[in-house]
A and B are shown apart, each in its own frame.
Chain A
Amino acid sequence: MDIGKLSLIELSTAIRERKLSSYEVTKYYIDKCHEKAELNALLEIFDDALDKAKEMDEKIDKGFKGKLAGVPVIIKDNILYKGKIASCSSKFLENYVAQYNADVVTKMLEQGAVIIARANMDEFAMGSSTENSAFGVTKNALDPTRVPGGSSGGSACAVAAGLAPVALGTDTGGSIRQPASYNGVVGIKPTYGRVSRFGVVAFASSIEQVGPITKTVRDNAYMLEVLAGGSEHDETSLKLPVNDYLSEITGSVKGLRVGVLKEIEEAVRGLDCENSYRGAIELLKKNGGEIVEVSIPDFKLTLPCYYIIAPAEATSNLGRFDGVKYSRRSKDAKDIDEIYVKSRSEGFGREVKRRIMLGNFVLSSGYFDAYYNKAKKLQQKLIAEAKEAFKVCDVLLLPTTAGEAFKIGAKDGDPVSMYKEDLFTIMANVLGVPAISVPYGKGKAGMPLGIQLIADSLKEGLIYNVADFIEKQEVK
C-alpha cells in the first residue's frame, strides 16, 4: 500500500482495520519530514512520535476505534501541546514549553491522533507568506522560490509536500485559505465559535478560528468533525451539536444558488485569478447551479475594517508577553520597565511591532471612536449586508487570492501590498461565517489557484458539498 497516496479517511480506515500500523504510517511521514527538511515547513519533529504511534497500535489492537486512531498530524506552532515548545515562530517564545493542551489537541488525542511535528508560520500569525517567521521562510511545496502563503504556510506546505495527511492551521484573515490555495490543498475557516480557541495563542480573538488543511475536501470534513464543538474553556465557542459534514456531501449542485459579488467584478478583471474564478462559476452553472449577482456594498471596507479590529485585539493579547512570567527576558534589563521594553523590542519582529503600534493607535484616547468603535459598527453593517445577500444565495463564490504564490521577497518593505493579499479572504473573518478554499485552475506560472466558497454561519456542510463538487471536476 502506498501510504503517501492514501487520503486521511483511507489511512485512518486502513489503520483501524489493521491493514497498516500506526508505526509504519508515522515512520513513513516522519521520514518524509526529514527528507524534505529544506522546505523549512517544520520547526520541530517530535522525537516521541514513534513511541506514541507504538502505544496507539497497542490500543488499536485492544479495540480502540477513534476517528484518528494512529494517524499522524502536524500542528501550527501557535497551538499548545503539553510538554512541547509552542513558539508562534517568535524569538520571544523560542523556548516556551506548553503547560497544557489546547482543546483541539485534546480532541485529536482523544480520537487517537499522533502529533508528529509543529509547523512554521508568520510570527504570531501576522503575515501572509511565513516571511515573518523568526526561524526562516517556508518554501512553497511546489516551487521553492515562492512563498507558501501565510500565516499557516508551514501547515499548508506540509500537507502539499506529503509530510502528513492533515495539518492544523489558524485563520484570522485568510491564514488557512490563502496558503492552502498557494500550495494546492484544501483549507477551511469554520464559523466563528465552531472550534474552541482554548490553548491557541491568540492574535485577534473575535475573528480567528482553528481549521484543518488537507489534500481533499472529504478529508477536511472528516477532520472538522473531530475539531468542532463547544468547550467549557471558551465562552465564545458555540455550544451546539456538530453536524455530520460528510453526509452533507451529495455530489450534486443542482438548484444551488451561487452568489457572485458585484463589488469584485471590476477588481477581478485582469487578475491572475480571473480565469479560475469565471471557470468555477461556469462549472457550477453548467451543472445546475443558479448564478445570482449579490451585493455587499461595503465589501471594499472589509480590509481596512480588519486592520483596525485585528491589531487592536492583538496589541492587548500580546501584552502578556512582557518578559516577567515566561520565556524571553532581555539580558540587559536592569529594572521592570527595561524588562518590558527591552524584552519586547528584542523578542518581536517588525511586523508584530507594526501591528502592536497600529492597535494602540486605533485604541488610544482620541482615536478610539474614530477607528475602533467605527470599525465595530461597520462590522455590524457588513453583517447586515451579508444577511441580505444570503437571503438570495446559498453560497458566495470568490477567488481565494488575486493570483498564484508570489516570489519570496517580492513584497519586502511594502506592508500594505502584503495586507492586500487578504482582500478576498478577510470578509469571512469579519462576518464570522465559514469559508473554504479548494484548488481550481492554475496561474500564469502554473502554480495552483483556489476558489473560495462562503456560506452563512454553521453551513460548513454546504460549502463542503460545493467544494467537493469543484474538486472532482478539477483536472489534475
Chain B
Amino acid sequence: MQDYDIVIGLEVHSELKTNSKVFCSCANSFGGEPNTHCCPVCVGLPGALPILNKKAVELVIKAGLTMDCEINDLAVFERKNYFYPDLAKAYQISQLVRPICIGGHIDLKDKKVRLNRIHLEEDAGKLVHSTAAIGTLIDYNRGGVPLMELVTEPDISSADEAVEFLTKLRQKLIYAGVAECKMEQGGMRCDVNVSVKKKGSSEFGQRTEMKNLNSFKSVHRAIEYEAKRQIEVLENGGQIVQETRKWDDNHGKSVTMRKKETSSDYRYFPDPDMLAVEIPREDVERIRSTLPLMPDQLKAKFMGEYGLSEYESDILTKDKVLSDYFLETLKHFDNPKEVTNWILTEILNRVKDEESFDIKITPCDLGKLLSLVAEKKVTRTNAKEMLTRIWENGEKITALEKEYGGNVDGDALKALVERIVSSNPKAVEDYRTSDTPEKVFRWFTGQVMKETRGKANAAKAEEFIRELLK
C-alpha cells in the first residue's frame, strides 16, 4: 500500500435550492405522491419545450464564486442522449462545451484541490424496483429538479481527503444558500474515480468509477476498498479494467456493473430548443455582492474580531445552523466568549442529531438567559436548570425568570446576610487574616445562595457581605 499513490477525482451532484424545476414551473419539492409534481415538460410529452430557470443559473454562479471559479460569459446547454426509463426525454439537458463555471479550487488543510468545472443539468426521475409481479415503477417528480455537477481534477490522494473535500464543499453550498445537501434524500450524490500508480510515477493508472454514493461514509469506504483492490490486482500481476463499478454499502465492496449500457456514446449536441445564456459581468458582480461570509471567512472573523480560539471557531463554523445561531445570539447578548462557552457546552450537549442541529431555545431566549446570569439575577446553576426546562418542556423564559430570579432582595436579603455574618465569627476572622480572603468571601456568598436556594440577588448579596466584612 505504501508503494502506491492513490489518485482520486470526484463528480458531485447537488440539487439546487429553487422553488421550481430547472426547465419548467413545477415545484421543486422532495417526495409527494408519484407523478404529482409533473407537467408536459418534465415528463417529456411531445411538443413540450424547456424554459430555463434564472435562479438555477444564478445559484451555480454563486457556488462557483465561493470556489474562485471563472464564470463563462456564455453558457450553452446540450443534450446528452441515452435511453433509460428515469430519463423522460431519452436525453438529459446538461452542459459540455461551455459550462457555467470553469476552474476554481477548494482549499483543504494541506492542499488545494483544483476544480475542472461546475455545470447545470436536470435530475432524472426515480425508479422503484418492486416485485416481479408489479415491476419497476417510474416517478418523474424528481425529473427536472435542478442539479449542479461539480467535477474536480484528480488532485485528491486519500479517502480522508475526499471526505474533507466533500465536507468543505457541502459547507460552502449550504452557507451560500445554493443547496441544502440533504444526503439522506439524495440531495447530494457523489461519483468517485479512483486509480493507483507507483509512488513517484508520473503515469496515471487505469481508473474505475463508482457512481451515486450518497454518504460521506460510503465514499470513504468505497475509496479505501477500491484502492486496495486495485493495488492487489496490480501486485498479482493483473491489470485494471476501465469500468463503472457499483459500490455495495451493505457488503462493503465494489462489483463490476452489469454491462447494460451498450455504449457510452452520448452524442452531445447543443439543445436546439434552448438559447445560450449570456452572463454579463454586472450580473456576476451583483451575485457576488449577495454572497454571505463563507465558513473560512467567518472563522477568521470569529478569531480576529471575537477573540475565539481556532478550535471554538472551527466548531461554530462547522454548520451554518450553528454559526447563524451564534451570530443571532450575539445580537441579544454581546459577549462572544460567553455565548461560545454556552453553545459549545450547554447547547451542543443537548443537541442529539448533528445532521439537523435542532436547537430548542431561540437565540433571543439564550441571550436573555445569559443576560440574567451576567446581571447576577440568576446563578449559573439555575440558568442551566432553566435552559433544561425551556429545552425539554418548552417553558417560557419570563415565567422561569420569576421563579428562579433574584426575588430575595432588599431588606430581607440584608437581614439574611447580617444573620450569616454574625453567626460565623470564625469565618469573619479568617477573612480578615487570610492570605486568600476572596476564598472566604466566596464561602459567604455560597452560604447566602444555599439559604435562598439560589434566589438571592447575587450582586446585592456580595455588596452587603463586603460592607459587613469591612
Q: Report the Cα distance A206→B79, complex, angstroms.
A: 14
Q: Report the Cα distance A88→B46, complex, angstroms.
A: 10
**Is A99 at the interface (CB under 8 A from chain B)?**
yes
Q: Report yes or no: B49 in contact with A235, Cβ–Cβ below 8 A.
A: yes
Q: Which of A359-377 contact B (CB under 8 A)?
A: 360, 363-365, 368, 372
Q: Report the Cα distance A64→B51, complex, angstroms.
A: 33
Q: Report the Cα distance A340→B262, complex, angstroms.
A: 14
Q: Report yes or no: B272 in contact with A204, Cβ–Cβ below 8 A.
A: yes
Interface string of A215-245 (1 = CB under 8 A from B): 0000000000000000011111000000000
**Is B427 at the interface (CB under 8 A from chain A)?**
no
Q: Report yes or no: A319 in contact with B47, Cβ–Cβ below 8 A.
A: no
Q: Report the Cα distance A235→B269, complex, angstroms.
A: 17
Q: Report yes or no: A324 in contact with B85, Cβ–Cβ below 8 A.
A: yes
In the complex formed, the residue of A with least CB distance to B24 is: A233
**Is A189 at the interface (CB under 8 A from chain B)?**
no
Q: Report the Cα distance A200→B274, complex, angstroms.
A: 15
Known: A235-B52, A319-B89, A340-B83. A206 touches B46 (CB 8 A): no
Q: Report yes or no: B50 in contact with A312, Cβ–Cβ below 8 A.
A: no
What's the minimum C-beta distance from A98 to chain B, rounded to whole angstroms? 8
Interface string of B253-266 (1 = CB under 8 A from A): 00000000000010
Residue from B40, B90, B91, B273 in contact with A205 in the complex, judged by beta carbons closer than 8 Å: B273
**Is B138 at the interface (CB under 8 A from chain A)?**
yes
Q: Report yes or no: A316 in contact with B88, Cβ–Cβ below 8 A.
A: no
Interface centre among B43, B48, B79, B138 (most CB of A within 10 A): B48
A365: B residues at CB distance < 8 A: 265, 267
Q: Report the Cα distance A232→B48, complex, angstroms.
A: 12
Q: Report yes or no: A368 in contact with B47, Cβ–Cβ below 8 A.
A: no
Q: Report the Cα distance A199→B273, complex, angstroms.
A: 12
Interface string of A420-462 (1 = CB under 8 A from B): 0000000000000000000000000000000000000000000
A316: B residues at CB distance < 8 A: 79, 81, 90-91, 267, 269
Q: Report the Cα distance A235→B198, complex, angstroms.
A: 52
In the complex formed, the residue of A with least CB distance to B50 is: A235
**Is B275 at the interface (CB under 8 A from chain A)?**
yes
Q: Report the Cα distance A372→B273, complex, angstroms.
A: 17
In the complex formed, the residue of A with least CB distance to B51 is: A235
**Is A468 at the interface (CB under 8 A from chain B)?**
no
Interface string of A83-113 (1 = CB under 8 A from B): 0001010000100100110100000000000
Residue from A204, A322, A364 in contact with B83 in the complex, judged by beta carbons closer than 8 Å: A322
Known: A200-B47, A319-B89. A235 touches B138 (CB 8 A): no
**Is B336 at the interface (CB under 8 A from chain A)?**
no
In the complex formed, the residue of A with least CB distance to B267 is: A363
Interface string of B67-101 (1 = CB under 8 A from A): 00000000000010101010011110000000000
**Is A76 at the interface (CB under 8 A from chain B)?**
no
What's the minimum C-beta distance from A419 to chain B, rounded to whole angstroms? 20
Residue from B44, B45, B273 in contact with A235 in the complex, judged by beta carbons closer than 8 Å: B273
B43: A residues at CB distance < 8 A: 325
User: Using a Cβ–Cβ cut-off of 8 Å, how many residues does chain A contribute to the interface with B?
Assistant: 41
Residue from B40, B51, B81, B273 in contact with A99 in the complex, judged by beta carbons closer than 8 Å: B40
Q: Report the Cα distance A325→B44, complex, angstroms.
A: 9
Interface string of A322-365 (1 = CB under 8 A from B): 10111000000000100010000000000000000000100111
Q: Which of B13-62 contact A (CB under 8 A)?
A: 40, 43-52
Interface string of B126-144 (1 = CB under 8 A from A): 0000000000101000000
**Is A121 at the interface (CB under 8 A from chain B)?**
no
Q: Report the Cα distance A101→B45, complex, angstroms.
A: 12
Q: Report yes or no: B267 in contact with A320, Cβ–Cβ below 8 A.
A: no
Q: Report the Cα distance A313→B91, complex, angstroms.
A: 12
**Is A201 at the interface (CB under 8 A from chain B)?**
yes
Q: Report the Cα distance A312→B269, complex, angstroms.
A: 9
Q: Report yes or no: B269 in contact with A93, Cβ–Cβ below 8 A.
A: no
B46: A residues at CB distance < 8 A: 80, 86, 88, 93, 96, 201-202, 320-321, 326
Q: Report yes or no: B44 in contact with A202, Cβ–Cβ below 8 A.
A: no
B48: A residues at CB distance < 8 A: 198-199
User: Using a Cβ–Cβ cut-off of 8 Å, how many residues does chain B contribute to the interface with A?
Assistant: 28
Residue from A100, A204, A206 in contact with B45 in the complex, judged by beta carbons closer than 8 Å: A100
Q: Report yes or no: A320 in contact with B89, Cβ–Cβ below 8 A.
A: yes
Known: A86-B46, A198-B47, A201-B47. A320 touches B90 (CB 8 A): yes
Q: Report yes or no: A234 in contact with B272, Cβ–Cβ below 8 A.
A: no
Known: A198-B49, A234-B49. A319 touches B274 (CB 8 A): no
Q: Report yes or no: A100 in contact with B40, Cβ–Cβ below 8 A.
A: yes
What's the minimum C-beta distance from A229 to chain B, rounded to whole angstroms? 15
B269: A residues at CB distance < 8 A: 312, 316, 363, 368, 372
A234: B residues at CB distance < 8 A: 49, 51, 273
Q: Report yes or no: A320 in contact with B44, Cβ–Cβ below 8 A.
A: yes
**Is A257 at the interface (CB under 8 A from chain B)?**
no
A201: B residues at CB distance < 8 A: 46-47
Q: Which of B262-299 contact A (CB under 8 A)?
A: 265, 267, 269, 272-275
Q: Report yes or no: A233 in contact with B49, Cβ–Cβ below 8 A.
A: yes
Known: A235-B275, A340-B83. A80 touches B267 (CB 8 A): no
What's the minimum C-beta distance from A305 to chain B, rounded to whole angstroms? 15
Q: Report the Cα distance A320→B275, complex, angstroms.
A: 21
Q: Report the Cα distance A364→B44, complex, angstroms.
A: 23
Residue from B40, B49, B267 in contact with A197 in the complex, judged by beta carbons closer than 8 Å: B49
B91: A residues at CB distance < 8 A: 316, 319
Q: Report the Cα distance A372→B46, complex, angstroms.
A: 24
A96: B residues at CB distance < 8 A: 46
Q: Report yes or no: B275 in contact with A236, Cβ–Cβ below 8 A.
A: yes
A206: B residues at CB distance < 8 A: 272
In the complex formed, the residue of B with least CB distance to A197 is: B49
B52: A residues at CB distance < 8 A: 235
Q: Report the Cα distance A191→B343, complex, angstroms.
A: 65
Q: Report yes or no: A205 in contact with B138, Cβ–Cβ below 8 A.
A: no
A197: B residues at CB distance < 8 A: 47, 49, 273
Q: Report yes or no: A232 in contact with B51, Cβ–Cβ below 8 A.
A: yes
Residue from B267, B272, B273 in contact with A364 in the complex, judged by beta carbons closer than 8 Å: B267
Q: Which of A133-155 contact B (CB under 8 A)?
A: none
B45: A residues at CB distance < 8 A: 99-100, 325-326
Interface string of A174-204 (1 = CB under 8 A from B): 0000000000000000000000011111101
What's the minimum C-beta distance from A198 to chain B, rounded to whole angstroms? 5
Known: A100-B45, A201-B47, A235-B51. A368 touches B267 (CB 8 A): yes
- Name 21 interchain pairs, CB-CB below 8 A, sorted by A: A80-B46, A86-B46, A100-B40, A197-B47, A197-B49, A198-B49, A199-B48, A201-B46, A202-B47, A204-B272, A235-B49, A235-B273, A235-B274, A236-B274, A236-B275, A312-B269, A316-B81, A319-B83, A324-B85, A324-B138, A363-B81
* Sample of 18 further A-B pairs with CB below 8 A, known A201-B46, A206-B272, A315-B267: A99-B45, A100-B40, A102-B47, A198-B49, A201-B47, A205-B273, A233-B51, A235-B49, A235-B50, A236-B272, A316-B90, A319-B81, A319-B83, A321-B46, A322-B90, A324-B85, A340-B83, A363-B267
Q: Top 4 closest A-B pairs, CB basis?
A: A319-B90, A206-B272, A205-B272, A363-B267
